A and B are shown apart, each in its own frame.
Chain A
Amino acid sequence: MALAFDEFGRPFIIIKEQESKTRLRGLDAQKANIAAGKAVARILRTSLGPKGMDKMLQSPDGDITITNDGATILEQMDVDNQIAKLMVELSRSQDYEIGDGTTGVVVMAGALLEQAERLLERGIHPIRIAEGYEMASRIAYEHLERIAQKFEFDATNTEPLIQTCMTTLSSKIVNRCKRSLAEIAVKAVLAVADLERRDVNLDLIKVEGKVGGKLEDTELIYGIIVDKDMSHPQMPKEIQDAKIAILTCPFEPPKPKTKHKVDIDTVEKFQTLRQQEQKYFDDMVQKCKDVGATLVICQWGFDDEANHLLMHRNLPAVRWVGGVELELIAIATGGRIVPRFQELTPEKLGRAGLVREKAFGTTKDRMIYIEHCANSRAVTIFIRGGNKMMIEETKRSIHDALCVARNLIRNNSIVYGGGAAEISCSIAVEAAADKYPGVEQYAIRAFADALDSVPMALAENSGLQPIETLSAVKSQQIKENNPWCGIDCNDVGTNDMREQNVFETLIGKQQQMLLATQVVKMILKIDDVISPSDY
């Protein structure tokens, strides 16, 4: 460890407890960081593409997740290394921003790091490499825009959208019924989309899962599902044209926040108190009844007496409904959430065409369906599947598909998938490299090589000869000057991605390149790692 000495040869203490800290500097630090980044990318590399494999993750509590979604794998991996954590962040931000391509972005970053390592060995300064990468990514970004195509669809012709969602789903375990799931996803997104403003609020789509049944039983419900049952077993199980009172106050005597005491010292007081109490419940129920509600949905619990009164007055009720669900119900039914009984008015009631309770399988599980809502913007995707893991994985896959559909509605430019866009960018970057004088040229070329690694990994995972396939596709692209030749992962017999209907969104791809470059730049700029030593 390098230390500074004063004129008497005593070391300056620069860092607290310097002796007990490990420190890596210069090239060593960069190399160690690159190695860590590559290690993370290596884990994800085999999950890329339609024939990618899954990872089984066991959480600290022993629960098991089987997934092939990059963001999920990294999130649950419990990494300790700082650089590895950066990669996890990278995948997460891609997930937040775009929702798809979380594996691709990490693989891309890994490849960039690998190339950077080689350049470092040749003695090129890391900052020059970083700058070269930056230039190259700009070239690639612009090139993507050039090769992007407008993607035509409208509310009546959803076929192209479905095709795109199918591409996303084909790399997941659910690809057995990708067609039906893609249709569900597209329908759900279109139901909540605002095509005028080109905006989609994914919060309006709720994805619920229940173990049991088949994946094929997954359905889209134009309404809300609540995993609750009626508060009283003898309440009606089905309500037509329900008028729903959405309450956030419990059917219980009031609990004022100020500290108070009610002292009882005479028999009369005791009796009045009791009458008061009964009247209180009566009033509450009566108020709901008076405004014409036919269903009460409450965030809190009910007192036994109130429950019976509700039942008695033929007013079905659901209790302990969570806050998020309550909001969704309010949005869907056009009702207002009412915090006090006094504020209940007929206008604040939500409306739904049909509310019913449905039982599943041989267990006593029951759920409440609220359908045909006044405002059908809120929808629920209800997933059934063989086991919990399957459902969780389906949820993640559906989320990806929803994100893709949303991105297409926001911006309908697409590029072709199957590695086609990467190969095309690689060619463009390679060609542009020669125009740059200086050391950056090498970095730009390295960027082009790194771009090749995504199609390479795709080919590898699909059991094809990676180098052979890649060079064949590349030469075809240059010869025919078309950016839609990709890797034929599914063994269909053509590598024209237009025929295979494999697209990705332009913004998704652009984001991938930008994010990967940014992270790699950040990692390259680190030249000193100080970590507390093990104790």
Chain B
Amino acid sequence: MAVERLFKDEATEEKGERARMASFVGAMAIADLVKTTLGPKGMDKILQSTGRGRSVTVTNDGATILKSLHIDNPAAKVLVDISKVQDDEVGDGTTSVVVLAGELLREAEKLVNAKIHPMTIISGYRVAAECARNALLEKVVDNKQDAEKFKSDLMKIAMTTLSSKILSQDKEHFAKLAVDAVMRLKGSTNLEAIQIIKKPGGSLKDSFLDEGFILDKKIGIGQPKRIENAKILVANTAMDTDKVKIYGARVRVDSMSKVAEIEGAEKEKMREKVQKIIAHGINCFVNRQLIYNFPEELFADAGVLAIEHADFDGIERLALVTGGEIASTFDNPESVKLGQCKLIEEIMIGEDKLIHFSGCEMGQACTIVLRGASSHVLDEAERSLHDALCVLSQTVNDSRVLFGGGWPEMVMAKAVDELARKTPGKKSHAIEAFSRALLAIPTIIADNAGLDSAELVSQLRAEHHEEGSAAGIDVISGSVGDMAELGISEAFKVKQAVLLSATEAAEMILRVDEIITCAPRRREDRM
């Protein structure tokens, strides 16, 4: 007797082969979707949001593409998830990780069809991933000791990362920007100290790195536009008529004259506050909250530059840069640490006026001003630059470097292949499949560049047969080239993260043999 209904209405259940098929298909579809963006000649995608305004994003960044998709297939969501984590953790390689996981599943599907149990495939993949990692570890180059070489490594990594992005035309320019910015951080991974300001207009080439700090705010009217040797007080305080914070307090008066009195008292209070602030001996005051007209006028009278409504990040960064502390009370001027900088001035970028703080106490912070034809270009440029900065800052900590251009994949594939030959049992099929999946990445890079991938990859394989080869795909000339000469490098940390998370995700999807989808929660119609 069949059970009519075990689940609630609309809940579905898929079992065994069907479940596995559904997840394979979903995962591969996602991988195919981002596949064409891989490599220096990868294409971009246009994403249109369904929200109001139908805003459009043009991007080549895997994580951004996947984040914006609305996906129903559960397995596909797993892949979206790993790409997001890759983005958070190392910042780059978001496309590669999805493509590799997709390829691993594609190979797994073939094996499952050949009647190999998924658990066997998983154990094979695990062995293979470990072996691939060890192969990479053997080949890493670490130039931490040699500052000169290290810098050139960083430069190469930045160029490699940027070459697959919109910035590839000016990659040298931007790579230099990114490396300079990261070198200023002196080893910390705190990317908050690097500020990116986007201003439409001009061309990408006009982008520049500024060693100071730029705040996208206007200077109050009638206040000095240029201050040398500025003493800055960074504050987070209410500069409108101060609220009385005691609960339940309210003003209750019985005549007009009293209203006037209270108003006077209020003004007096504000004046006092401003006096206190000025008594710190400052000539610049930056507040997170609004500054009303009245105190602004007082500041102007005292010749103090007052900047209102700087956002949270803005003041935190400013405090960091100038070495001041964020103040909220002003009773003990002697103990508040003031921020300092050599020069504050209003500058023009394009048509906008910005406030520029230069000669700051702490040299770590800097600002990158991006210029470009449209806001789409700028957004994409920011994403690309962010990727590069992330990778660089991670590399500064873990300075192991590999060649790029499909070289690491070839090295791993070779090692894994050798392992497959040595391993007895069904596992070896899975290990072999792993090496095929690795080879898919250089193949896709070549395909995307419109090259004869079959020819190139087989050439590469022959090259790699020799120990210590540095051959990889040179997409520009369309042939096999020496990666060491071409200066194409990648960070070891990125590659390792790609390898490990892709294997983990593939394994997770392989282990599933049943999908149970609950009925979607009913939402009340808002129409």
Q: What is the interface of chain A, defined by CB distance below 8 A to chain B? A: 31-32, 35-36, 39-40, 43, 46, 51, 53-62, 64, 66, 68, 73, 76-81, 84, 173, 176, 211-215, 232-234, 252-256, 259-267, 270-271, 273-274, 276-278, 280-281, 303-305, 307-309, 311-312, 359, 361-364, 385-390, 463
Most A C-beta atoms less than 10 A away, residue of B120, B238, B329, B394 = B329
> Does B393 sit at the interface, judged by CB under 8 A?
yes
Q: A264-B252, A277-B246 are in contact. Are A58 and B515 (CB under 8 A)?
A: yes
A78 near B514: Cβ-Cβ < 8 Å: no
17 A–B contacts from the bound complex (CB under 8 Å): A36-B6, A43-B13, A43-B514, A53-B119, A56-B514, A76-B516, A80-B9, A233-B320, A234-B326, A265-B258, A274-B244, A362-B89, A362-B189, A362-B390, A386-B500, A390-B504, A390-B508
Other 16 A-B pairs with CB < 8 A, given A56-B75, A271-B265: A35-B3, A43-B13, A46-B513, A53-B513, A56-B515, A66-B511, A78-B519, A81-B5, A212-B89, A254-B247, A261-B249, A281-B329, A304-B237, A364-B192, A389-B78, A463-B120
Most B C-beta atoms less than 10 A away, residue of A79, A173, A312 = A312
CB-defined contacts of A386 to chain B, threshold 8 Å: 82, 85, 500-501, 504-505
A263 near B250: Cβ-Cβ < 8 Å: yes
CB-defined contacts of B81 to chain A, threshold 8 Å: 387-389
CB-defined contacts of B6 to chain A, threshold 8 Å: 36, 39-40, 79-81, 84
A304 near B3: Cβ-Cβ < 8 Å: no
Measured in the bound complex, the distance between the Cα atoms of B187 and A205 in whole Å is 35
> Does B428 sit at the interface, judged by CB under 8 A?
no
Measured in the bound complex, the distance between the Cα atoms of B265 and A274 in whole Å is 11
A362 near B85: Cβ-Cβ < 8 Å: no
CB-defined contacts of B501 to chain A, threshold 8 Å: 386-387
B246 near A253: Cβ-Cβ < 8 Å: yes
Tell me how many residue pairs across A and B have CB atoms closer than 8 Å: 233
Measured in the bound complex, the distance between the Cα atoms of B72 and A527 in whole Å is 42
Where chain A touches its partner, the secondary structure class is mixed
Q: How far is the CB of A277 from chain B (nearest CB, A)?
A: 6
B328 near A304: Cβ-Cβ < 8 Å: yes
Q: What is the interface of chain B, defined by CB distance below 8 A to chain A? A: 1-3, 5-9, 11, 13, 19, 23, 72, 74-75, 77-78, 81-82, 84-85, 87-91, 117-120, 126, 189-192, 236-238, 242, 244-254, 258, 261-262, 264-266, 269, 316, 319-320, 325-329, 331-332, 335-336, 390, 393-394, 500-501, 504-505, 507-508, 511-521
Residue ID in chain B nearest A73 by CB atoms: B516
B247 near A387: Cβ-Cβ < 8 Å: no
CB-defined contacts of A308 to chain B, threshold 8 Å: 236, 326-329
Measured in the bound complex, the distance between the Cα atoms of B3 and A80 in whole Å is 12
Task: Choose among A259, A312, A387 the residue that contacts B332 (Cβ–Cβ < 8 A).
Answer: A312
Measured in the bound complex, the distance between the Cα atoms of B504 and A388 in whole Å is 12
CB-defined contacts of A51 to chain B, threshold 8 Å: 117, 119
CB-defined contacts of A259 to chain B, threshold 8 Å: 248
CB-defined contacts of A214 to chain B, threshold 8 Å: 500
Residue ID in chain A nearest B522 by CB atoms: A60
CB-defined contacts of A363 to chain B, threshold 8 Å: 88
Measured in the bound complex, the distance between the Cα atoms of B513 and A363 in whole Å is 35
The 7 closest A-B pairs by CB, nearest first: A308-B328, A53-B513, A60-B521, A262-B249, A387-B81, A54-B511, A58-B517
Measured in the bound complex, the distance between the Cα atoms of B89 and A262 in whole Å is 53
Task: Choose among A77, A212, A213, A364 the residue that contacts B516 (Cβ–Cβ < 8 A).
Answer: A77
Q: A80-B8, A214-B500, A312-B336 are in contact. Are A68 and B191 (CB under 8 A)?
A: no
Measured in the bound complex, the distance between the Cα atoms of B190 and A308 in whole Å is 23
CB-defined contacts of B120 to chain A, threshold 8 Å: 463
Task: Choose among A54, A57, A173, A215 the residue that contacts B518 (Cβ–Cβ < 8 A).
Answer: A57
Measured in the bound complex, the distance between the Cα atoms of B248 and A267 in whole Å is 18
CB-defined contacts of A389 to chain B, threshold 8 Å: 78, 81, 508
